[in-house]
Amino acid sequence: MLKQLKYKFILFTVTIFGVIVLTVSSVLYYSIHNQMEKRVDSTLNHVLKTDENIDIILIDPFKIESLSTDMRWSFKITSEKKVVGTYYKLSDRFVNDILHLATDTSGYIEYNQKIFKYLSSDSDIAFVEITYDVKRVRETLFMTLLIGITAIILVWISSTLLANWAMVPIEEAWKSQKNFISDASHELRTPIATISANAQLLKEHPEESIQSRLKFINYIHDETRRMTELVERLLFLANSDDGKIKLNFTQINLSDLVYEVALPLESIAFEQEKELLFHINDKVIIYGDTTQIKQLIVILLDNAIKYSDKHEKIEITVLKSGILKIKNKGEIIPHDKLKYLFDRFYRVDESRQRDVSGYGLGLSIAKTITQTHKAKIHVTSNKEQGTIFTVQFMKGTL
């Protein structure tokens, strides 16, 4: 599909440019040819009106290789076969031959590798030798076509290179979309399989009471909740990609909002033998959507709690410059994997993820939220300081 799209783009570009070249060549050829016709017709009309005898130069004009436009060879033959208005001596044979060829009122004839245009009146016929003019027009047409064909080849090469360059992000987006669908299907398969298995167990023992089969019902309920959470996150990302998320930007007291979100999570951290430490400046005001900023803080705090070691402290910092930092100490993320951390469904260590709930979508959603708020998010991870997520919000209006 992508190859066909690339070939269509190249074909379309070359075709459009080819049509332009053909049009320009045709217009240029017509313009030059039309100018030549006007000059020659003017000369013919002038010759027909000329009755002067010019001193003849005893030179055979057919031995002259080329006559320029300024020295165009013209003459008139009267009804008595008298040649008027030329410097050159013309043989009787030439006069008879050329009169024999000039059968119409006007037209072109070729004689002894020379091209003439003629125009007849009631009794006389005027001739102009236009070999040089025709040659110039043909050379111009040839050069125009040669330049056009060369340009088309260059456009074909350029459009191919451009198409290859332009297809890189499209191929990456296409691959990312396919992986997204594949990963989403994989994530949905587990809760669906669990729900199906537990529902089947309930179906096999219809005579038993609900109380006795409560654990299976709880399994179904838990997996339904997890699947609902996954679907909601998938819908959020899909709507974000389509630009369908409606935001309500207002001034937000980031300091108060962090406390509001973090305090309910303190009990979860306590149960896991972890501690939340706050370094929060008062009244740090940013501009954004409250719901999404809450979601961003929840994601980053939840991530820090999940992946910090027991008995470690999770530090939450809010600076007056509008920077939010969340730091935890746990397993260090390799430097070469940090750049993939915000990719959808990405997991640093699949074996480690089996012990931690989640879908690999949280940080991707966090990245999306920062982008919609024109904020910046980045992460560092090392043994000395641990893992630190930093979000730089824009203060004031966007």
What digits encode the pLDDT tens for the residues 302-360? 889 988 888 889 999 999 999 999 999 888 888 888 888 888 777 666 544 444 455 67
Q: Is the pLDDT of residue 69 over 50?
A: no
Separation of CA 206 from chain center = 60
- What distance in Å separates the CA atoms of residue 51 and residue 81, rounded to the nearest whole number? 13
Contact 128, 40 (CB under 8 A): yes
Between residues 7 and 88, the one the model is more confident about: 7
Tokens of 217: 């019902």
- What distance in Å separates the CA atoms of residue 117 and residue 270, rounded to the nearest whole number? 106
Separation of CA 332 from chain center = 38
Q: What's this model's pTM, rounded to 2 decimal places?
A: 0.54
DSSP state of 396: S
The pLDDT mean for the chain works out to: 80
State the pLDDT at residue 67.
45
Count of other CB atoms within 10 angstroms of residue 315: 18
Question: Which residue type, as a one-letter code, is found at position 86?
Answer: T
State the pLDDT at residue 66.
45
Q: Is the pLDDT of residue 70 over 50?
A: no
What digits encode the pLDDT tens for the residues 259-300? 998 988 888 888 888 989 999 999 899 998 898 899 899 889
State the pLDDT at residue 325.
94
Q: Is the pLDDT of residue 97 over 70?
A: yes
> pLDDT band for position 254 (50/70/90)?
very high
- What distance in Å separates the CA atoms of residue 40 and residue 128, rounded to the nearest whole number? 7
User: Which residues are within 8 A (CB) of 67 and not within 5 positions of it... i.e. 6 or more apart?
Assistant: 61, 73, 129, 131, 132
The predicted model gives 245-250 an average pLDDT of 83
Q: Identify the top-confidence range among 62-71, 115-124, 324-333.
A: 324-333
Q: Identify the top-confidence range among 35-39, 356-360, 376-380.
A: 376-380
Which of 31-35, 65-69, 269-273 has the least mean pLDDT?
Answer: 65-69
Pairing of strands 285-289, 323-328: unpaired
Question: Which residue type, as a one-letter code, is found at position 134?
Answer: V
What digits encode the pLDDT tens for the residues 163-198? 788 777 777 767 766 766 766 676 677 678 878 888
> pLDDT band for position 57 (50/70/90)?
very low
Q: Is the pLDDT of residue 386 over 70?
A: yes
Query: What is the maximum alpha-carbon separation in the chain?
Result: 133
**3-class SS of residue 282:** coil
> pLDDT band for position 228 (50/70/90)?
confident
> pLDDT band for position 25 (50/70/90)?
confident
User: Which residues are within 8 A (CB) of 193 and not within 5 positions of it... i.e. 6 or more apart?
Assistant: none
Query: Please, how many CA atoms are within 13 Å of residue 9, restricted to the half-sphere of its CB?
Result: 17
> pLDDT band for position 389 (50/70/90)?
very high
What are the b/e assignments for 169-191, b being 16+ CB within 10 Å? Answer: eeeeeeeeeeebeebbeebbeeb
Domains and CATH numbers, the chain: 2-139 (no CATH), 166-241 (1.10.287.130), 249-392 (3.30.565.10)
H/E stretch holding 128 reads: strand 125-129
Tokens of 56: 């003849």
Tokens of 227: 């699947």
